[in-house]
Amino acid sequence: MSSIEHSVDVQVPISVAYNQWTQFETFPEFMEGVESVRQLTDTRAAWLAEIAGVKREFETEITEQHPDERVAWHSLGTPKHAGVVTFHRLDDISTRVMLQMEYDPEGFVETAGDWLQLVRMRVQGDLRRFKDYIESRDGESGAWRGEVPRPNAPGRDVAPHTREPGTAPLSGTGYPQSPPSDA
């Protein structure tokens, strides 16, 4: 497994940065190689991305989420990756967004790309583009302020709330059904 940790300071309040990050379907607007993200439920998303020149379709699941604090996820199947994005209030109008991620490169091309630090450079670029994206707007494009408790928290076995495709509720609760992740 390879690890990446990178942060960026954005000149927006913590709730604006967090709210925008919960709008996964906007990720292609600032994430290189991400062609589409489709929200399946409050805690699951289907991705179409190009990784090291190879198109990949995969699903991710939110394993923990707390408004204005953190969003943790892991992939279901391959490519294997997991991580957490945390939000740190610097002052009333600025926030540090920190991404920590682990991934398992597959095959020669992805392993070579990892060795050359291409994934690390892509993540750094994605966070810079997120900064430009959120700072150039009048506010967030939507928000999901639901809670997803830690994997070992009581109530984790409750079925997830299904989100209608293309909608982003302002509040709600979703609980993943998968086994816990280390993310």
**Does 122 reside within a domain?**
yes
Q: Is 42 within the bounds of a domain?
A: yes
Pick left, alpha or beta for residue 172 (phi over 0 → left; psi -120 to 50 → alpha; otherwise beta). Answer: left
pLDDT value for 6: 96
Report in angstroms the alpha-carbon separations of 1 from 44, 56, 101, 163.
23, 19, 10, 32
Overall domain count for the chain: 1
pLDDT for residue 118 = 74
The pLDDT assigned to 112 comes to: 62
Residue 118 counted as domain residue = yes
User: How far is residue 21's CA from residue 83's CA, in Å, rounded to a whole number?
Assistant: 14
pLDDT of residue 169: 38
Q: Does 83 reside within a domain?
A: yes
Range of the domain at 117: 2-135
In a domain, 36, yes or no: yes
Spans of the chain, pLDDT less than 50: 158-183
The pLDDT assigned to 97 comes to: 98
What CATH number should be reported for the domain holding residue 27? 3.30.530.20
> Does 170 map to a domain?
no
Q: What is the pTM of this model?
A: 0.79
In a domain, 127, yes or no: yes
